[in-house]
Amino acid sequence: MPNRLNSLIGLMLLAMVGGPVSAQTIYGPGGLFVHPTAFPQARNSTTFNVSFLTQRDPDDTSETGYLPISLVTNLNGRTDVGALYLHRNLGDQRRESGGLFARYALSPDRPDRPALAIVVSFLAGDVRQSSVTLVASHQITRIATITRPLFTLHAGLMYGRRDDVAPASDGLSVYGGASVPLGHDFALIGEIGTQFAFDDRAASAFGLQYTGRGYSLGIGFVNTGRSDGERFFVGVGFGIGGGGR
C-alpha cells in the first residue's frame, strides 16, 4: 500500500467463496480501491489477496512499482485481522515492508442507518506508516418506486502518520466513495479524499470490479496522494477458507 499514508493505496483484492467482494488497499482489504469501508468480509472466511500498481513522483517523474500481499481472516462476523507484506521497486532498488491490518464492525448496515466500523493498519520496514479510520457505509435499495440494490455510499475520517519521512508527519483526511452495480457481476467504483498535508495530491480512484465464482478481479486507476495522477492497478483475491453470514 503505497505512500499516501493510509490513503492506502488502492489495490484490489476480492474475496471469493462465501464472501462478499471487497477491495484491498496497500494496508489490507478495505472495500474501495484506496480507502476502507465499514463492511467486514464473510463470517469465518479467510482470503489471500495480491495486487500490483505503479505511482509516479510528481517532482522527478520517477516510477515506483508496488506489490502488496495480504492474508486476512474474519473471526466472528465483525472482526477482520490479517498480515500484510509490501514489495516496492524503486529503480534498481528492492524494498520490503510488513505489518498488520484490523477492522471492527461497530454496527451493521440497516435501512434506517449505515454500517459503522473502525479500521486500523500498520506497516514497518521500508514503508513506516499507520492509520486509524472511522467509516460509515450504506447500501441504497429504494428510490421512489424502485426497490433493488442501486448503489452503496461510503464516507470516512482517516488519521494517518508517516514515520518514513523527515521529519515524521501526521494529518487528517475526509473521503467519500461509491459502488454502482452494472449487472453481470460487474460494479463501477469511484472515490476521492481530501489531501493530507504531507501528500502531493488528493487521493482518488476509479475502475471496475468483477466478482466471479471463487475469485474476484479489480482493474482501475488510482492516485494514493503521492503520484502525479491516477496510475493503472490490478488486483485479485481468492477465498481459502469457508464462511457464511
Write the CATH number of the domain with boundaries 10-239.
2.40.160.40
**Nearest by Cα to 197 from 161, 242, 157:** 161
Residue 115 confidence class, pLDDT cut points 50, 70, 90: very high
Assign 233 a pLDDT band (cuts: 50, 70, 90): confident
Task: Write down the pLDDT at residue 30.
Answer: 57
For residues 107-122, give the mean pLDDT: 95
- Greatest mean pLDDT range, 26-30, 97-101, 161-165: 97-101
What cell numbers appear for 93 in the block? 532498488
Give the model confidence (pLDDT) of 62-83 as tens digits: 888 889 898 999 999 999 999 9
User: What secondary structure does DSSP assign to 96-145, as a single string?
Assistant: EEEEEEEEEEEE--BTTB-EEEEEEEEEEESS-EEEEEEEEEEEEEEETT
Residue 27 near residue 8, CB atoms below 8 Å: yes
| Residue 11 in this model has a pLDDT that exceeds 70 | no
Q: Is 239 helix (H, G, I), strand (E, B) or coil?
A: strand
Percent of the chain with pLDDT over 70: 84
